[in-house]
Amino acid sequence: MAKEKTGGQKAARRRQRKKKGGITAKRKKEFSYRGYTMEELLEMPFDEMVLLLPSRVRRTLSRGMNDEQRIAYEVLKNEDREVTRTHRRDVPIIPQFVGKKVSVYNGKEFIEFEIKPEMIGHFTGEFAMTRGEVKHSGPGVGATRGSKFLPLK
């Protein structure tokens, strides 16, 4: 019973069972947004596509965007820059933005991310968190007497 170089007899038997059973590698599932593929979303008229989006985004687009939002929207839609930097956190993501890199300001720095199909219907600000994780150390200067007590274990 000599072991094979690729993992032993048990692994060899498993490979044979897979081959025999016709088990193949999983195919990646094609993206669809509310039953429509990415190609169908891109070909769809804007008015029809807006009806598929969540209510908050639909409301933003139907009421009309302000000047700053509109400028950011046009730049994202038409520009072929490598990375588009913006302070606008309230620009809704639509299918035409997929594949573009955006850098959104979070109040301290620009957070860069690539727009993926799963982000459709969200706002750009949702992907640049404004609050960091709080990490407390021991009690600081000016702490009350009660909070200075650290039990020894």
- pLDDT on residue 3: 46
d(CA 65, CA 73): 9
Domain 32-127 falls in which CATH fold? Answer: 30s Ribosomal Protein S19; Chain A (3.30.860)
- pLDDT on residue 13: 86
Which of the residues in the chain have pLDDT under 50? 3-4
- pLDDT on residue 11: 87
Does an H or E element contain 115, and which?
none
- pLDDT on residue 41: 92
Three-class DSSP category at 41: helix
* CA-closest candidate to residue 121, choices 28, 36, 43: 36
At 20-40, the pLDDT tens digits run 776 566 667 888 899 999 999
User: Where along the chain do its domains lie?
Assistant: 32-127
Q: How far is CA 35 from the centre of its chain?
A: 20
- pLDDT on residue 101: 94
- pLDDT on residue 132: 87
d(CA 50, CA 118): 16
d(CA 101, CA 51): 25
